[in-house]
Structure 1
Amino acid sequence: MIDIMLIIALALFGLAVLITLFRVIVGPSLPDRVIALDMIGVILISGIATISILLETKAFLEVILILGILAFISTIAFSKFIERGVFIERKRDL
């Protein structure tokens, strides 16, 4: 019974990724697209956790951690890009 619910959850996660991908492509503004990309990261983390439960293994927990860190860093980088127009500021004294 739990296996069936986990498979249904995976299918719904896939549907959520498709809907969010639509928001990334058609989004009305750049901040909406950044939030949609962050949401895709959260959905992928949830999907990997569900697969880990379904397969009864702890092997995917490191993948979840790395994906969470990368999603956080990419959201911060895109936010700085929206705010300032550059990713990394370099100050040069000539």
Structure 2
Amino acid sequence: MLFGFMLFVFGLNGFLGFIPPPGVPERAAAFLDALTAMGYMVPLIKRVEVAAGALLLANRFVPLALVLKATSRLSSQRSHRGRTNPRQSSPQSR
């Protein structure tokens, strides 16, 4: 229930902007700028968050809601880890 509420609120925040955005590192800001420049990606991500949150709050189609959110969650995890390409060589192997 809490996860659904968080998705719903933060998804709505993407459209309404009632929570001020935090400062982000330079690389993350460049990535967000690229997503914003596409024009459709950020609204799509936020729509999926709102839809998944609403489904979880209503306790309807829970597996579908979790699959919808899993894709952006995995992408977010990978960007926070600093690796965007799993086949990219690590600094130790150079």
Q: Same fold (TM over 0.5)?
A: no
- Structure with greater proportional helix content: 1
For the aligned pair, the TM-score class normalised by the smaller chain equals 0.3 to 0.5
TM-score by length of 2: 0.37
TM-score by length of 1: 0.37
